[in-house]
Amino acid sequence: MKRTHHCAQLTLADLNATVSLLGWVDSIRDHGGILFIDLRDRKGITQVKFDPHTNPELGAQAAHIKPESVIGVFGAVVGRPEGTVNAHLPTGAIEVDASALTIHNISDTPPFPLDDIGGDKVNEDLRLTYRYLDLRRPKMRKNLQVRHRAAKSIRDYFDSQEFIEVETPALFKSTPEGAREYLVPSRIHPGEFYALSQSPQQFKQILMVAGV
């Protein structure tokens, strides 16, 4: 099941389209036997409906899903009933009426809430222990996006000024300096060591002399 859209992409313009979505289960709501799942990826959220009255087998399969499980859904885009539109979501006017479900992984109960309110109240050591979960939180994802855009803006500017970005080596031979060195053993040459570069000074000087 390959993704056809991300979870913040579908709108009323996609009504009656057959789509495939993949992501994490953000929340589950049972309305009289009909399950509504908010499916989340790094782009946003789409509501998915599972109706056991029309597809009992699919409904039974969906009943085993837990929050943060990884699933893929296949179905048709339909408009939400009047009074249920969520104006706070880009996809709030539609939902996906699921006709097929693939459960890639059932999640254990998360060790802390993955929203920004609950996650911010959690001890930082716990967040770092489960860093892969912490990075799913909207606040952390936004921080990564801001850092990416800032770095890209800097690179774009220097590129427009005809600078060349050069990645200097991280491992180098040991040098007779007074600062403490961090040695890395060589597997290919037993008894020999690399040293972590303490400064890019020598590499910069070589690049300057080379006219880079």
**pLDDT digit string (tens) for the chain, length 212 residues:** 789 999 999 999 999 999 999 999 999 999 888 999 999 999 999 999 999 888 899 988 998 899 999 999 999 999 999 899 999 999 999 999 999 999 999 999 999 999 888 889 999 999 999 999 999 999 999 999 999 999 999 999 999 999 999 999 888 877 776 567 788 898 999 998 888 887 788 899 999 999 98
Q: Are residues 35 and 69 in the same domain?
A: yes
Token pair of 20 as six digits: 């495939």
CA distance 30 to 36: 6
Token pair of 6 as six digits: 């991300």
Q: What is the pTM of this model?
A: 0.79
Tell me, yes or no, whether 121 lies in a domain.
yes
Q: Are residues 100 and 140 in the same domain?
A: no
Tell me, yes or no, whether 75 lies in a domain.
yes
Q: Are residues 40 and 68 in the same domain?
A: yes
Q: Are residues 121 and 71 in the same domain?
A: no
The helix (H) or strand (E) run that includes residue 23 is strand 18-31
Q: Are residues 94 and 177 in the same domain?
A: no
Tell me, yes or no, whether 4 lies in a domain.
no
Domains: count for the chain: 3
Q: Are residues 26 and 60 in the same domain?
A: yes
Tell me, yes or no, whether 200 lies in a domain.
yes
Specify the residue for token string 């040695």: 183
E strands within 32-178? 34-40, 45-50, 70-79, 94-105, 171-172
Q: Are residues 61 and 140 in the same domain?
A: no
Close Cβ partners of 1 (under 8 Å, ≥ 6 residues apart): 20, 22, 72, 74, 100, 102
Helix, strand and coil content of the chain, in percent to the nearest 5, comes to: 25, 25, 45
Dihedrals phi, psi of 163, to nearest 5 degrees: -75, 155
Q: Are residues 185 and 125 in the same domain?
A: no
**87-99 b/e (C-beta count within 10 Å ≥ 16 → b):** eebbbbbbbbbbe
For 154, the domain range is 116-160
